[in-house]
């Protein structure tokens, strides 16, 4: 399976790409700029030269066309434009949405959430792509890029997963749990992303307050499997 990260040159996408590639996935870094994507791939290959992995760089459009499973990691302000640019290539694929509507999108605080009329960023993605047969799954919202970057340390955070298609969620959970330390929790329908996304600005606020970059969450007391 080829995993294409749309907006994969940023903090979240690139660190997710590193983790998934090391875990054995064939990863594509997508960008608006082919040159930028290729440069980032070169940087990752130099940085992680002790690992053997497969990673390519492409434009977002080519990445979406080539990828079997897509992960969207762009800021809220770029969400609609980016999705429209790949809309023709998403039919029958799974798209993991990691977008969090932070107030930074309008010049505000990273510790505040912006309420969207669709309910959540993941539901906004589903609405923008409603004329396609893509299956949108919300995940990765609460896992900080710093934890992802801290290779080879295991991730000390659960991954809350929401989506309307159970088979798609199963594929996503199996993929994500290849990253050491992450335990996925199926939270239910995509609308659960309304609550999950709001945890992220809370964690960012805690990171600021306690001078950390690694704040995460673990759900306890339930059999997660
Ligand atoms: N950072 C985290 O720890 C974290 C954790 C959980 C969730 N998230 C969520 O994941 C998403 C990505 O976060 P990030 O920190 O990786 O963001 P980022 O570094 O600011 O941006 C990611 C990529 O999006 C593209 N992009 C940026 N602005 C754009 C614009 N105006 N139009 C089109 N493309 C644009 C850029 O790629 P190109 O220039 O190469 O096209 C950029 O490298 C956000 O929604 C964020 O809330 C982040």
Ligand 1 centre from 8 Cα, in Å? 8
Which domain range does residue 54 map to?
2-209
* 100 within domain boundaries: yes
CATH number at residue 54: 3.40.50.720
- Per-residue model confidence as pLDDT tens digits over 163-178: 999 999 999 999 999 9
Classify strands 158-163 and 135-138 as parallel, antiparallel or unpaired: antiparallel
* 216 within domain boundaries: no
150 lines ligand 1 (CB under 6 A): no
* 224 within domain boundaries: no
Residue of 12, 33, 103, 205 with the most ligand 1 atoms within 8 Å of its CB, for mutation: 12
* 221 within domain boundaries: no
What is the model's pLDDT at position 225?
65
- Per-residue model confidence as pLDDT tens digits over 117-127: 999 999 999 99
* 225 within domain boundaries: no
What is the model's pLDDT at position 224?
74
Is the predicted pLDDT of residue 106 greater than 70, yes or no?
yes
- Per-residue model confidence as pLDDT tens digits over 182-211: 999 999 999 999 999 999 999 999 999 999
Average pLDDT over residues 50-58: 98
pLDDT band at 149 (very low <50, low <70, confident <90, very high): very high
Ligand 1 centre from 5 Cα, in Å? 11
DSSP-assigned beta bridge partners for residue 196? none
Query: What is the total count of domains within the chain?
Result: 1
* 139 within domain boundaries: yes
Global pTM reads: 0.98
Ligand 1 centre from 73 Cα, in Å? 5
* 82 within domain boundaries: yes
Residue of 4, 6, 11 with the most ligand 1 atoms within 8 Å of its CB, for mutation: 11
* 161 within domain boundaries: yes
């Amino acid at each position: 399976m080829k995993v294409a990260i749309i907006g994969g040159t940023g903090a979240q996408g690139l660190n997710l790409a590193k983790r998934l590639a090391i875990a054995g996935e064939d990863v594509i870094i997508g960008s608006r700029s082919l040159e930028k994507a290729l440069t980032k791939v070169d940087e990752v290959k130099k940085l992680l030269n002790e690992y053997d992995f497969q990673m390519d760089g492409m434009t977002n459009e080519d990445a979406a066309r080539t990828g079997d499973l897509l992960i969207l990691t762009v800021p809220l302000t770029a969400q609609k434009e980016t999705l429209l640019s790949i809309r023709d290539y998403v039919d029958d694929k799974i798209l993991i949405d990691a977008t969090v509507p932070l107030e930074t999108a309008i010049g505000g605080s990273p510790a505040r959430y912006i309420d969207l009329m669709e309910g959540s960023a993941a539901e906004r993605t589903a609405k923008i792509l409603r004329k396609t047969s893509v299956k949108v799954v919300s995940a990765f919202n609460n896992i900080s890029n710093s934890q992802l970057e801290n290779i080879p340390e295991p991730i000390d955070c659960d991954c809350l997963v929401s989506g309307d298609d159970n088979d798609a969620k199963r594929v996503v959970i199996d993929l994500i749990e290849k990253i050491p330390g992450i335990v996925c929790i199926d939270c239910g329908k995509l609308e659960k992303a309304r609550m999950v996304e709001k945890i992220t600005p809370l964690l960012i606020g805690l990171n600021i307050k306690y001078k950390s970059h690694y704040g995460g969450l673990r759900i306890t007391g339930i059999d997660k499997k």
